[in-house]
Structure 1
């Protein structure tokens, strides 16, 4: 069962929470204040009603014709039963009738002969006006509290959200390999809260992982370096064996071992981030065509648009060679290499890249899924990606068609795309600022250094 994913920011969650709590408190306080004020006003009205009924009683008893005044009545049939029972006991009292839309204030006193003098007044006038004004003020205050709480929530949540976004951005930079970034420094700020604890934890995790990676890299480089001399001696000794099938097998395996050791050393150097490009100006299309033709004559090379690029020819040759070798080894002919401006595409017509490579990128000693299994060690694409980083280029991998959409040999296949930068990295590994050209670009071809 798929559950809906509702994504909201911390800022709005805090704002809604504060607004909800503010609204709840404002409503509760408004009800308490309204009821307290109403009860107080009704009590005052009952006291006034008692005074009025006493005044009416004195007037009635002192008058000769026994005529009730001040809107009072004798034995009013609408007199509430509770008040009627109180008067029967010979006591005076007051009563509030809330059954109608407007409360009614009753007061009654017993008279001689068993009669009852009562007075009824509606709760209107100045008291009702004051109560309405109070209710209006409470509503306005409650709305102001809700909006003020929402604004405060946006302010507090925005600050927290910005810190979390900075922490996430710094963590992504660390994940991309920029281990010099510190999350604690990235979030900044004076106030210390839980985000600082999270930042320190991420920085500690980064340092621990980096230390482990450095240790593994040093061990790998040391092992490969120590194997280099005996493997070279083994290759030399294998060349001295007499001709024959066993000698060919020994020479082949010794050469494969030597290639593996050299590749491991190259990966270790690329992981160390100390490699720098030696830049030269070359014609990308012509350079690619010569190298691909020498490596795999059956590959199809198309130069859509020729361009000059400033790059390291040795590293570029390594990238293109590894991509073409990977296409020849694991793909299906024809292998097509297309050069368009600063972009080089290498495509085969095989089963395509495995999902793990498309999802995570090249990984050392992983040759792919069963549909691209081979005899390699999984270092070719890893080296190509590392050399691309040294050149400041971007290397992407995709499949020409999804699995099952097109049969092999037609529209399917793996596509590797190398995007060379407009500004080549300097000898320090950084990128120069763009410079406004002073005149038209020279078309004179510079001599290319094969070394």
Structure 2
């Protein structure tokens, strides 16, 4: 249940309880006052009638002896030896009775209670209408306050999700600005402070990584040159292979560092998705089965798309099993293999640097998929990882 609805129900419930309690108190208080005044007036007339009876054996017109219509509770109270009053508000003709015993008879006096009953009924209607109006007003006010709070919390939540997705420049305080100082504002400030600290740490990490890669570039270039001077033979080939892989790793680290900055931008042009796939297959230099189901033209950066697809194809060859298939369906290019598939943590959280997943997918430094995700983000494409029908790994590149 949403916060706005909960707040509305809570405030309306409290208002309802308060309104009903006040209405009941007002009702019973009005009944008590009305009956007390009527009993007092009728009792005074009874005393006058009793004095007239004892003095002149005469009764006023409104008094009677042993009236058969007198309420039974009143007669019983009088027979018990007391002066009694009784309000018969539920009768067809509401009346207030007073009675006392004179000479072995029950002397009673009664006055109409119709007007008082009518006024009390009108008061009850007014109280009911007041409670209903209170519920409507308090409910509307509660919905307004709850929706305002819910909008602020929703805006803060959306901004927090943007931060979690990597948009570390987003700030919760900007989305709830001018809303006053309260717990939501304090929470937004805490999230903003966390985002700023996280951004600073990631920036520091990126700078350190880039600096290390830059520092390694010069000696590795020297190693490549020296390896080329080695005499032919198996040991020389092994050295050249390892040096080449080391140079590739350094270049990948530098590319990751560049992609993590906000300065990278794609150079867009209109091109066929099938042509992009053909170029990637040629650049991969590995056996790939190309399937074009629905050719389409896309507006994207061909160089970065090729980089993404080549990394996906090489990853499929390195960690999966053949056949590796690159299929084109509209603006979606899919790379699938027949290996063990992506690990569960990669499917849940995406690729991470220097992490290749489970052991059965082989070795590697784990930067290929990270670079692919970074390049896709630069060109505004979506890269999704899943499981192919064959059970192997599947990566869908959806171009904008």
TM-score by length of 2: 0.89
Q: 1:215 to 1:122 in 2, by over 3 A?
A: farther
Paired residues of 1:12 and 1:157 also in contact (CA < 8 A): yes
Matched, 1:178 2:138: no
**Partner of 1:418: helix, strand, or coil?**
strand
Alignment partner, residue 95 of structure 1 = 85
Paired residues of 1:108 and 1:116 also in contact (CA < 8 A): no
Alignment partner, residue 15 of structure 2 = 22
Equivalent of 1:417, from 369, 373, 396?
Answer: 396
1:120 offset after TM fit, Å?
Answer: 5.6
Equivalent of 1:285, from 274, 290, 298?
Answer: 274
Equivalent of 1:39, from 29, 32, 41?
Answer: 32
Matched, 1:344 2:333: yes
Question: What is the CA–CA distance in structure 2 between the aligned matches of 1:69 and 1:61, rounded to whole Å?
Answer: 16
1:284 offset after TM fit, Å?
Answer: 3.2
Q: 1:70 to 1:279 in 2, by over 3 A?
A: closer
**Partner of 1:317: helix, strand, or coil?**
helix
Higher helix share: 2
Alignment partner, residue 449 of structure 1 = none
Paired residues of 1:53 and 1:72 also in contact (CA < 8 A): no
Equivalent of 2:386, from 378, 398, 409?
Answer: 398
Gaps of 5+ in 2: none
Q: 1:309 to 1:28 in 2, by over 3 A?
A: closer
**Partner of 1:398: helix, strand, or coil?**
strand
Alignment partner, residue 65 of structure 2 = 73
Alignment partner, residue 406 of structure 1 = none
For residues 114-129 of structure 1, the aligned pairs below 5 Å read: 115=104, 117-119=106-108, 121=110, 124-129=113-118
**Partner of 2:215: helix, strand, or coil?**
helix
Question: What is the CA–CA distance in structure 2 between the aligned matches of 1:248 and 1:121, rounded to whole Å?
Answer: 126
1:279 offset after TM fit, Å?
Answer: 3.8
1:149 offset after TM fit, Å?
Answer: 0.6
Alignment partner, residue 212 of structure 1 = 201
The superposition leaves residues 178-223 of structure 1 with CA deviations (integer Å, 9 ceiling, x where unpaired) of: 2332211112345443221121111111101100110111111111
Q: 1:121 to 1:331 in 2, by over 3 A?
A: farther
1:232 offset after TM fit, Å?
Answer: 2.0
Question: What is the CA–CA distance in structure 2 between the aligned matches of 1:279 and 1:75, rounded to whole Å?
Answer: 108
Alignment partner, residue 247 of structure 2 = 258
Q: 1:174 to 1:166 in 2, by over 3 A?
A: same
Count of aligned pairs:
395
**Partner of 2:230: helix, strand, or coil?**
coil
1:152 offset after TM fit, Å?
Answer: 0.5
Paired residues of 1:106 and 1:118 also in contact (CA < 8 A): no
Paired residues of 1:46 and 1:94 also in contact (CA < 8 A): no
For residues 331-410 of structure 1, the aligned pairs below 5 Å read: 331-371=320-360, 373-401=361-389
Question: What is the CA–CA distance in structure 2 between the aligned matches of 1:398 and 1:292, rounded to whole Å?
Answer: 21
Gaps of 5+ in 1: 1-7, 88-92, 402-410, 422-451
Equivalent of 1:234, from 220, 223, 245?
Answer: 223
1:75 offset after TM fit, Å?
Answer: 10
Equivalent of 1:56, from 49, 60, 65?
Answer: 49
Paired residues of 2:337 and 2:388 also in contact (CA < 8 A): no
1:46 offset after TM fit, Å?
Answer: 0.9
Alignment partner, residue 274 of structure 1 = 263
Alignment partner, residue 298 of structure 1 = 287
Alignment partner, residue 119 of structure 2 = 130
Q: CA RMSD in A?
A: 2.6
The superposition leaves residues 143-197 of structure 1 with CA deviations (integer Å, 9 ceiling, x where unpaired) of: 1111111011011111111111111222222222223322111123454432211
Q: 1:57 to 1:383 in 2, by over 3 A?
A: same
Question: What is the CA–CA distance in structure 2 between the aligned matches of 1:232 and 1:398, rounded to whole Å?
Answer: 38
Paired residues of 2:273 and 2:298 also in contact (CA < 8 A): yes
